Amino acid sequence: MPRPRPVVFGLYAWSPDYGYSYLHPANRRSFEWVHPVGKVFEKVSDLDDDSEWITLRYDEQQFLVRGELFKELYNKPPFGFGDLVEEINPPAGRPAHCGLVSDIFWSESLDRATYQLVERKRKVAQVFEAEELRKVEL
Protein backbone atom coordinates (compact mmCIF):
# COMPACT_ATOMS: atom_id res chain seq x y z
CA MET A 1 0.00 0.00 0.00
CA PRO A 2 1.52 3.36 -0.97
CA ARG A 3 2.25 5.84 1.78
CA PRO A 4 0.22 9.07 1.78
CA ARG A 5 3.33 11.28 1.76
CA PRO A 6 7.05 10.84 1.12
CA VAL A 7 8.93 9.07 3.89
CA VAL A 8 11.12 11.33 6.00
CA PHE A 9 14.13 9.48 7.40
CA GLY A 10 16.17 10.81 10.26
CA LEU A 11 18.22 10.23 13.38
CA TYR A 12 17.09 10.65 16.97
CA ALA A 13 20.30 10.77 18.98
CA TRP A 14 18.75 10.42 22.42
CA SER A 15 20.55 8.75 25.31
CA PRO A 16 19.64 8.59 29.02
CA ASP A 17 22.13 11.42 29.62
CA TYR A 18 19.63 13.78 27.95
CA GLY A 19 16.95 12.91 30.50
CA TYR A 20 13.53 11.45 29.95
CA SER A 21 11.60 14.62 29.13
CA TYR A 22 12.25 13.97 25.40
CA LEU A 23 10.34 10.67 25.50
CA HIS A 24 6.62 10.25 26.01
CA PRO A 25 5.99 8.34 29.26
CA ALA A 26 3.82 5.76 27.46
CA ASN A 27 6.75 4.45 25.39
CA ARG A 28 9.79 5.48 27.42
CA ARG A 29 10.99 1.96 28.30
CA SER A 30 10.47 0.49 24.81
CA PHE A 31 12.31 3.43 23.23
CA GLU A 32 15.27 2.86 25.56
CA TRP A 33 15.45 -0.78 24.41
CA VAL A 34 15.86 0.38 20.80
CA HIS A 35 19.19 2.07 21.72
CA PRO A 36 18.46 4.85 19.20
CA VAL A 37 21.93 6.35 18.68
CA GLY A 38 23.12 5.48 15.16
CA LYS A 39 19.77 4.10 14.02
CA VAL A 40 17.52 5.52 11.32
CA PHE A 41 13.87 6.30 12.08
CA GLU A 42 10.94 7.16 9.84
CA LYS A 43 9.08 10.30 10.85
CA VAL A 44 5.42 9.32 10.79
CA SER A 45 3.86 12.57 11.96
CA ASP A 46 4.92 16.15 12.57
CA LEU A 47 4.12 18.37 15.50
CA ASP A 48 0.57 19.59 15.35
CA ASP A 49 -1.31 22.31 17.20
CA ASP A 50 -2.67 19.88 19.79
CA SER A 51 0.57 18.11 20.67
CA GLU A 52 4.21 18.70 21.48
CA TRP A 53 5.18 15.22 20.25
CA ILE A 54 6.19 13.77 16.89
CA THR A 55 5.74 10.11 16.00
CA LEU A 56 8.75 8.09 14.89
CA ARG A 57 8.75 4.55 13.53
CA TYR A 58 11.48 1.98 14.00
CA ASP A 59 10.72 -1.36 12.34
CA GLU A 60 7.20 -2.23 13.55
CA GLN A 61 7.20 0.06 16.59
CA GLN A 62 6.07 3.68 16.86
CA PHE A 63 7.23 6.17 19.47
CA LEU A 64 6.14 9.61 20.62
CA VAL A 65 9.14 11.89 21.17
CA ARG A 66 9.85 15.61 21.30
CA GLY A 67 10.96 16.98 17.95
CA GLU A 68 14.05 18.88 19.12
CA LEU A 69 16.43 15.92 18.79
CA PHE A 70 15.18 14.70 15.40
CA LYS A 71 17.66 15.32 12.56
CA GLU A 72 16.36 14.70 9.04
CA LEU A 73 18.61 12.77 6.66
CA TYR A 74 18.79 14.36 3.24
CA ASN A 75 20.74 11.42 1.79
CA LYS A 76 17.67 9.16 1.81
CA PRO A 77 18.37 5.46 2.41
CA PRO A 78 17.38 3.33 -0.60
CA PHE A 79 15.43 0.82 1.54
CA GLY A 80 12.89 1.35 4.30
CA PHE A 81 11.45 -0.76 7.10
CA GLY A 82 9.53 -3.75 5.82
CA ASP A 83 10.99 -3.64 2.31
CA LEU A 84 11.54 -7.13 0.91
CA VAL A 85 15.14 -7.36 -0.29
CA GLU A 86 17.57 -10.06 -1.35
CA GLU A 87 21.32 -10.41 -1.26
CA ILE A 88 22.88 -9.87 -4.69
CA ASN A 89 26.10 -11.90 -4.48
CA PRO A 90 26.06 -14.50 -1.69
CA PRO A 91 29.23 -16.49 -1.00
CA ALA A 92 29.62 -19.67 -3.08
CA GLY A 93 27.69 -22.59 -1.64
CA ARG A 94 25.21 -20.49 0.36
CA PRO A 95 21.81 -19.36 -0.90
CA ALA A 96 21.13 -15.64 -0.98
CA HIS A 97 19.52 -14.12 2.08
CA CYS A 98 16.06 -12.78 1.31
CA GLY A 99 14.02 -10.99 3.95
CA LEU A 100 12.43 -7.85 5.29
CA VAL A 101 14.45 -4.82 6.37
CA SER A 102 14.16 -4.69 10.17
CA ASP A 103 17.04 -2.44 11.23
CA ILE A 104 18.64 0.54 9.53
CA PHE A 105 21.95 1.80 10.92
CA TRP A 106 23.53 5.11 9.94
CA SER A 107 27.23 5.87 9.55
CA GLU A 108 27.75 9.60 10.02
CA SER A 109 31.32 9.37 8.72
CA LEU A 110 30.27 7.59 5.51
CA ASP A 111 26.87 9.36 5.27
CA ARG A 112 25.03 6.16 4.40
CA ALA A 113 22.91 3.35 5.79
CA THR A 114 23.48 -0.35 6.42
CA TYR A 115 20.72 -2.90 6.89
CA GLN A 116 19.79 -5.93 8.93
CA LEU A 117 17.13 -8.34 7.70
CA VAL A 118 14.55 -10.70 9.15
CA GLU A 119 14.40 -13.94 7.19
CA ARG A 120 11.77 -16.56 8.11
CA LYS A 121 11.05 -14.74 11.40
CA ARG A 122 14.73 -14.75 12.42
CA LYS A 123 17.12 -11.84 12.36
CA VAL A 124 20.09 -12.42 10.02
CA ALA A 125 23.33 -11.75 11.92
CA GLN A 126 25.01 -10.10 8.92
CA VAL A 127 24.64 -6.36 8.36
CA PHE A 128 24.44 -5.46 4.67
CA GLU A 129 25.56 -2.45 2.65
CA ALA A 130 22.94 -1.08 0.23
CA GLU A 131 25.04 -2.25 -2.73
CA GLU A 132 24.77 -5.85 -1.48
CA LEU A 133 20.96 -5.83 -1.68
CA ARG A 134 18.21 -5.35 -4.24
CA LYS A 135 14.51 -4.80 -3.72
CA VAL A 136 12.27 -7.76 -4.55
CA GLU A 137 9.16 -6.80 -6.47
CA LEU A 138 6.13 -8.95 -5.78
Tell whether the model's pLDDT for residue 128 goes beyond 50.
Answer: yes
Give the per-residue pLDDT at 138. Answer: 75
Q: Which domain holds residue 34?
A: 8-72
Of the three residues 42, 72, 102, the one that is the final residue of a domain is 72
**pTM of the predicted protein model:** 0.89
pLDDT tens for residues 57-92?
A: 999 999 999 999 999 999 999 999 999 999 999 999
- Is residue 1 a part of any domain in this protein? no
Q: Are residue 68 and residue 17 in the same domain, yes or no?
A: yes
φ, ψ (nearest 5 deg) of residue 63: -135, 140
Tell me the torsion sign for CA atoms 95, 98, 101, 102: negative
Confidence label for 47 from pLDDT (cuts 50, 70 and 90): low
Q: State the total domains in the chain.
A: 2
- Is residue 57 a part of any domain in this protein? yes
Q: Are residue 14 and residue 64 in the same domain, yes or no?
A: yes
Give the per-residue pLDDT at 55. Answer: 93
